[in-house]
Structure 1
Amino acid sequence: MKNSFVELNGRQRAFSLLDENTGREIVGPEFDFISPHLEPQNIVPESDDGVIIAKGKLDGKAAVIISIEGSFQGGGIGEVSGAKIVAALEKTLEDNKNGIKEYPVIVLDTGGVRLQEANYGLLSISEIQNAVIALKEYVPVIGIVPGRVGSFGGMSITSAILSYLITTPKARIALNGPEVIEQEAGVREFDSSDKNLIWDTLGTRQRVETGIADEVVDDDVSAIKDAINNAIEQNKDAHRTDQADFYLSLLDEIDFAQPLNTKQYRDLYSKNKATKHVVNEATASQQAKTKSRGRLWFEKLTGIENAESNYPTVLHAEKDGKEYIAIVPDENNRFPRVRKGEVGLQEGFLVAEIVNKIVDEDKDKKEKRPLILVVDVPSQAYGYKEELIGIHISLASAAAAYAKARQAGHPVIAFIPGDAVSGGFLAHGLQSNRIIALADDSITIQAMSKASAARITQRTIAELEEATKHVPAMAYDIHNYEKLGALYKLVQDVSSWDANENAVEEIKTVIDEAIESTKNQPTDLHFRYETPIAVESGRQATNKMRKTVSEQWNQ
Structure 2
Amino acid sequence: MRNSFVELHARQRAEALLDAGTGRELIGPLDNMISPQLEPQGIVPESDDGVVIMKGQINGKNVVIAAIEGAFQGGGIGEVSGAKIVSAFEQALADNKAGKTIYPIIILDTGGVRLQEANYGLLSISEIHNIVIALKKYVPVIGLVPGRVGSFGGMSITSALLSYLIGTDRARIGLNGPEVIEQEAGVREFDSSDKNLIWNTLGTKQRLATGIVDEIVDDDVVAFKQAIAAAITAHKDSHRDQKSDFYLTLLDQLDPTAPLDTVGYRKMFAAVQPETHHLAPAQASQTPGTPSRGRLWFEKLTGIQNAQSDVSTVLHAKKDGREYIAIVADEHNRFPRVRHGEVGLVEGFTVASVVNDLVAADKDKAVKTPIIMVVDVPSQAYGYKEELIGIHLSLAASAAAYARARQAGHPVVAFIPGDAVSGGFLAHGLQSNRLIALDDLGITIQAMSKASAARITQRTIAELEEATKHVPAMAYDIENYRKLGALYKLIEGVHSKDANDQAVATVQGVIQHALDSLEDAPTDLSFRYTNPIAVKSGRVATNKVRQMMAEQWPD
- TM-score w.r.t. length of structure 1: 1.00
1:182 is displaced (CA, Å) by: 0.1
| Percent identity for Structure 1 against Structure 2 | 72
1:258 is displaced (CA, Å) by: 1.1
What CA distance in whole angstroms lies between the structure 2 residues aligned with 1:209 and 1:59?
30
Aligned to 2:28: 28
1:531 is displaced (CA, Å) by: 1.0
1:320 is displaced (CA, Å) by: 0.2
What CA distance in whole angstroms lies between the structure 1 residues aligned with 2:484 and 2:3?
43
Aligned to 1:246: 246
Q: Which secondary structure does the structure 2 equivalent of 1:115 belong to?
A: coil
Aligned to 2:485: 485
Pair 1:305-2:305 in alignment: yes
Pair 1:534-2:534 in alignment: yes
Aligned to 1:347: 347
What CA distance in whole angstroms lies between the structure 2 residues aligned with 1:127 and 1:223?
31
1:278 is displaced (CA, Å) by: 1.5
> What amino acid sits opposite 2:490 in the alignment?
L
Aligned to 2:190: 190
Q: Which secondary structure does the structure 2 equivalent of 1:257 belong to?
A: coil
1:247 is displaced (CA, Å) by: 0.1
> What amino acid sits opposite 1:321 in the alignment?
G
Aligned to 1:289: 289
Please, which runs of 5 or more residues in structure 2 have no aligned partner? none
**1:237-386 correspondence to structure 2 within 5 Å:** 237-386=237-386
Aligned to 2:387: 387
1:280 is displaced (CA, Å) by: 1.2
Aligned to 2:226: 226
Aligned to 2:434: 434
**1:175-214 correspondence to structure 2 within 5 Å:** 175-214=175-214
**1:77-116 correspondence to structure 2 within 5 Å:** 77-116=77-116
1:342 is displaced (CA, Å) by: 0.1
What CA distance in whole angstroms lies between the structure 2 residues aligned with 1:151 and 1:37?
23
What CA distance in whole angstroms lies between the structure 2 residues aligned with 1:352 and 1:160?
14
Q: Which secondary structure does the structure 2 equivalent of 1:317 belong to?
A: strand
> What amino acid sits opposite 2:384 in the alignment?
Y
Aligned to 1:11: 11
> What amino acid sits opposite 2:181 in the alignment?
I
Aligned to 1:165: 165
**1:484-523 correspondence to structure 2 within 5 Å:** 484-523=484-523
What CA distance in whole angstroms lies between the structure 2 residues aligned with 1:194 and 1:200?
10
1:133 is displaced (CA, Å) by: 0.3
> What amino acid sits opposite 1:468 in the alignment?
T
What CA distance in whole angstroms lies between the structure 2 residues aligned with 1:316 and 1:12?
48
Q: Which secondary structure does the structure 2 equivalent of 1:116 belong to?
A: coil
> What amino acid sits opposite 1:539 in the alignment?
R
Q: Which secondary structure does the structure 2 equivalent of 1:479 belong to?
A: helix
1:23 is displaced (CA, Å) by: 0.1
What CA distance in whole angstroms lies between the structure 1 residues aligned with 2:433 and 2:423?
18
**1:446-457 correspondence to structure 2 within 5 Å:** 446-457=446-457
Please, which runs of 5 or more residues in structure 1 have no aligned partner? none
What CA distance in whole angstroms lies between the structure 2 residues aligned with 1:273 and 1:123?
37
What CA distance in whole angstroms lies between the structure 2 residues aligned with 1:289 and 1:169?
45
What CA distance in whole angstroms lies between the structure 1 residues aligned with 2:408 and 2:483?
30
> What amino acid sits opposite 1:29 in the alignment?
P
Query: 1:204-254, CA deviations, whole angstroms, 9 ceiling, x for partnerless residues?
Result: 110000001100000000000000000010000000011000000001111
What CA distance in whole angstroms lies between the structure 2 residues aligned with 1:450 and 1:531?
30
What CA distance in whole angstroms lies between the structure 2 residues aligned with 1:445 and 1:513?
23
1:136 is displaced (CA, Å) by: 0.3
Aligned to 1:131: 131
What CA distance in whole angstroms lies between the structure 1 residues aligned with 2:486 and 2:124?
11
Cα RMSD between the aligned structures? 0.4
1:383 is displaced (CA, Å) by: 0.2
1:433 is displaced (CA, Å) by: 0.2
> What amino acid sits opposite 1:163 in the alignment?
S
What CA distance in whole angstroms lies between the structure 2 residues aligned with 1:318 and 1:554?
46
Aligned to 1:235: 235
Aligned to 1:54: 54
Query: 1:54-79, CA deviations, whole angstroms, 9 ceiling, x for partnerless residues?
Result: 00011000000110000000000000
Query: 1:349-402, CA deviations, whole angstroms, 9 ceiling, x for partnerless residues?
Result: 000000000000001111100000000000000000000000000000000000
Query: 1:161-195, CA deviations, whole angstroms, 9 ceiling, x for partnerless residues?
Result: 00000001100000000000000000000000000
1:51 is displaced (CA, Å) by: 0.2
1:277 is displaced (CA, Å) by: 1.1
1:403 is displaced (CA, Å) by: 0.2
What CA distance in whole angstroms lies between the structure 1 residues aligned with 2:221 and 2:427?
34
> What amino acid sits opposite 2:349 in the alignment?
F
> What amino acid sits opposite 1:198 in the alignment?
I
Moved over 3 A (4+): none
Query: 1:399-440, CA deviations, whole angstroms, 9 ceiling, x for partnerless residues?
Result: 000000000000000000000000000000000000000000
> What amino acid sits opposite 1:356 in the alignment?
N
What CA distance in whole angstroms lies between the structure 1 residues aligned with 2:13 and 2:136?
23
What CA distance in whole angstroms lies between the structure 1 residues aligned with 2:258 and 2:159?
29
What CA distance in whole angstroms lies between the structure 2 residues aligned with 1:419 and 1:14?
39
- TM-score w.r.t. length of structure 2: 1.00
1:288 is displaced (CA, Å) by: 1.3
Q: Which secondary structure does the structure 2 equivalent of 1:66 belong to?
A: strand
What CA distance in whole angstroms lies between the structure 2 residues aligned with 1:7 and 1:191?
28
Q: Which secondary structure does the structure 2 equivalent of 1:497 belong to?
A: coil
Matched residue pairs, number? 555
Aligned to 2:420: 420
Q: Which secondary structure does the structure 2 equivalent of 1:155 belong to?
A: helix
1:90 is displaced (CA, Å) by: 0.1
1:296 is displaced (CA, Å) by: 0.2
What CA distance in whole angstroms lies between the structure 2 residues aligned with 1:360 and 1:204?
34
What CA distance in whole angstroms lies between the structure 2 residues aligned with 1:161 and 1:256?
26
> What amino acid sits opposite 1:289 in the alignment?
G
Q: Which secondary structure does the structure 1 equivalent of 2:480 belong to?
A: helix
Q: Which secondary structure does the structure 1 equivalent of 2:117 belong to?
A: helix
